[in-house]
Every structure is written in structure tokens, then in C-alpha cells.
Chain A
Amino acid sequence: MIRFLNSVWYNFKEYIILTVLVILSLFIISQNHSPAVQRVRAIAFGTFATVTSVVSDVVNIKSLKKENEQLRETNAKLMLQLSKLREAAIINEELKGLVALKDTSGYPLIPASVVSKSLSRVQGTITLNVGNIDSVKVGMPVITDKGLVGIIYSVSGNYSIARTLQNVDLKITVKDERTRENGLMKWNGENLVIVNVPKTFQIKKGDRIITSELSSLVPFPVPVGVAAGSNNIETGIFNEIKVIPFVDFAKVENVFVIKTVASKEIDSLELNFLKKYQ
């Protein structure tokens, strides 16, 4: 028997090792959402991000000058917009008082830098240099001045990982700013698309897409992108609307984490796709 086993091992050891490692990998895939695995991951990427943040700073020094110029220009434009918005805000407050609406704006922002990126076509993630210590929590939205970048997925002491919109595991409820029609947006590995849009909806090419207040992940409007036409599905009553994001995920370096987590009450009532993958 031992001789037989020895002979099997000698002849097929490469295949036996491959099989064992593949089975082990499959087992680990099935354990992805266990708290123990999440803890190990938080420690691992926290440690790794400490090193990459130094390298990232060095790499990004060159682009800082150009970015500074762009920021100055943005600042000037924002200053002009701000004076307009101040005027609008005063009127808005008066109107809100009249219709007794709650204010949903004014969330504090946590500034962060991207220390590393994993730009796989299906699982885009970025590592940020803010974590538990900065009050970052799982589920907080990540934005830039252009729009939504993603959602915080995992947090360690000083660092956090965010899933970008180019991640098949992230689905967000969005709406057309013009028509107010809602839909579920996801990354299909190729494009950002709003799926199952009834053909009766009037979403047109060039419409601005923003997050919907129906979303339990980003419950206030944040710009996402522009509609770039529909992938007309021949059969059925639904269309797919292609969305071009405002943010270039490959180039994003500085972001803000919005210090808010969706209401627990809403979470318990709605299907929260983030929770599903944790």
C-alpha cells in the first residue's frame, strides 16, 4: 500500500499539489466574508499601504505642479459659483422652511490620498491613506471634485480600501438628473451601465447621471457620469444605458471620503448590495 502511494506521489506529485492548492483556494474563496478573513485582510493591507504610501508620494511628486495649476483654476471657478450658490442657498433655506423639508447636505469630508491601485478590469480597488483613526467606516462614499469614485469596502487603523465604480461587486442606485428616473448602475466588466431600464424611460444621450436618494449607499445626489446612449436589447421591455463616468479612475490621486453611513433603518428595509458582499 505504502509502495503504491509512493509510486502515485512520485508519478503525479505536480498534479496532486496543484489539486490541493486549487481546493484550498476554492475554500478560501468561500470564506471571503468571514470576520476572521476580513481582520487578516485589514492587517495585511494596512501594513502594505504604509510602504506604498511612501512610494506613491515619490511617484506623484512630478504631477503635483500640474495638479496645483488645475486646482488654482478650479478654485477660481468655484469661487464664482460659490457666490451664486450662496444666494441660492438663502432662497433654498426659506423655501425649505415653508415646506418643512429636512436638510440632507453638509456632510463632513475627510481628505485622503490614493496610495495604491488595483486596476483589474473587473475588480477595481484603490487604497486610501485614511482609516479607523480618521473615523472612516465601511460603506462611506468616496468622491473627487468631479464626482463619485466608489465606496469604502474594508478599513484598517490608518488605511482603507475602496471599491471603485469599475468593480463588478459594486451596484448603486442612480437617477437621471433631468427626468428623475431611477435605475441600478453597475460595472459589467466592459462599461458602466444602468440595467433593466424600462424602454418607456426617457433617458437620453448626454443626460447627467447622479446618485439617487433611494440608494442606501449614497443617499444624497453625487454626480456619477453622463449617459452615453442605450445598448438596445432586442427582446424584452428593458434597456441598458451606458454611462461614462466623470472620474478617471486610473488617474485619481486625491479624494474625499464623505463622513456618513447610510441609515441602519433604511439598510434593514432595502436590499443593500454592499452588505451582500461583506
Chain B
Amino acid sequence: MKFNYIISILIFIPVLIIQTTVVPLISIGEVVPDLILILLVYYSITEGQIYGTVLGFIYGLFFDLVTGSLLGSSMIAKTVAGFVAGYFSSENKVDIYLMFFNFGLIVFLAALVDQIIYSFFSSFDISSNILMIFFQNAFLPAFYTALLSMIIIIFVPKRRNL
């Protein structure tokens, strides 16, 4: 278990570098996909809900530390996102959940939760239109992240049978 955490954190480092250097180049408007969340959802599905929750906390901590965003905002958002994604971690259905379309839907759900909480804790302006905020800050990034996740999951090798 501990070894698994180390592996997932080691994989996280290059993903974080890509997220902060390459991903801004593929942003559409200000909509940026979240590679870290895709990785988190993958681990939540394959390793379980507790693993996903704790990993979300760790990923969020590192992300907040290196990007200068409000420390704790990504932590709480990714912790809950990992928890939500962890509901899809049933061992005998892992391969089904990791299928192209299903994985995209799970990522979309987790990204939606992640973005809503992150926006809330990033001192959001209440005077703005709530529906518009939801659409631009949560729905669009979640949708873009889900689309990207469906492309990425094609190249991820199928999980070995337990």
C-alpha cells in the first residue's frame, strides 16, 4: 500500500510539470483541462475510495504549494473529488469503469465536484451570475478534462486481473 502511494506520487511529479508548462498551451479561452484530476480518478478507481481520498489530499497539497493558489483550496477540492471517484472502485467492475466512455463520465463527475469546490474556496465574487459561474468555472473545465481523459485512457494498458 505504502509502495503504491510512492509510485502514484512519483507519477504525479511529471504530470504536475506537464500541467503547468504544456497544458496552458492547449487551453481554450481560459478553460484548462486538469491532468492531475485524471490521474487521481484513475487511482481512485483502481486502488479504492480511501486511497483516492488520501491521494487527492496529497495531490492538492503539492498543487497548492507550487502554483501559488490559496493553500488548501485544491486540497479540499481534490480530497472530495478522490472520494467521489472512489465510489466507482468496485474490484470486479474496474475494467468496466476504465472503459473509454465510462471513464470519461466518472472524470466529468469528479472534475465537476473538484471545480465547484475549488471555485467556492477561491474567494469567489458572489455578485456574479451563479449559473454562469457554474457553467464557465465548473462545467466547461470538467467537460474538457473528461474529453482529454477519454483520449488518455485509450493509451493506458488494461489493468492486470487480480
Contact = CB atoms under 8 A, between A and B. Distances in A.
A45 interface: yes
Contact of B119 (A24, A30, A161, A189): A189
B22 interface: yes
Contact of A25 (B72, B122, B133): B72
B64 to A, nearest CB: 8
A190 B21 contact: no
Interface stretch (A10-18, A95-103, A212-220): A10-18
Interface stretch (A76-84, A118-126, A129-137, A176-184): A118-126
From A59, A122, A166, name the one whose CB has the most chain B CB atoms within 10 angstroms.
Answer: A122
Contact of A59 (B22, B50, B125, B136): B22
Contacts of B86: 14
B97 interface: no
Interface residues of B, number: 49
B137 interface: yes
B80 A44 contact: no
Interface string A1-37: 0000000000001100110011011111111100001
B132 interface: yes
A208 interface: no
Contact of B75 (A25, A44, A119): A25
B119 A117 contact: no
B11 to A, nearest CB: 15
A168 interface: yes
B136 A123 contact: no
A17 B24 contact: no
B69 A189 contact: no
Q: How large is the interface on A (under 10, 10 to 19, 20 to 34, 35 or more residues)?
A: 35 or more
Nearest to B118: A120
A55 B21 CA distance: 7
B10 interface: no
Contacts of A154: 68
A30 to B, nearest CB: 8
B162 interface: no
Interface in A94-116: 115-116
Interface string B24-49: 11010011100000000000000001
A92 to B, nearest CB: 39
Interface in B88-135: 118-119, 121-125, 127-128, 132-133
A188 B122 contact: no
Contacts of A25: 57, 60, 72, 75-76, 79
Interface of A: 13-14, 17-18, 21-22, 24-32, 37, 40-41, 44-45, 48-49, 51-52, 55-56, 59, 115-123, 125, 127, 153-154, 161, 163, 166, 168-169, 186, 188-190, 250
29 contacts: A14-B49, A18-B53, A21-B54, A21-B79, A24-B57, A24-B75, A25-B57, A25-B60, A26-B72, A29-B76, A41-B68, A44-B65, A45-B65, A45-B67, A48-B65, A48-B66, A52-B20, A52-B21, A55-B21, A118-B69, A119-B24, A122-B122, A122-B124, A122-B137, A168-B125, A169-B70, A188-B127, A189-B125, A189-B136
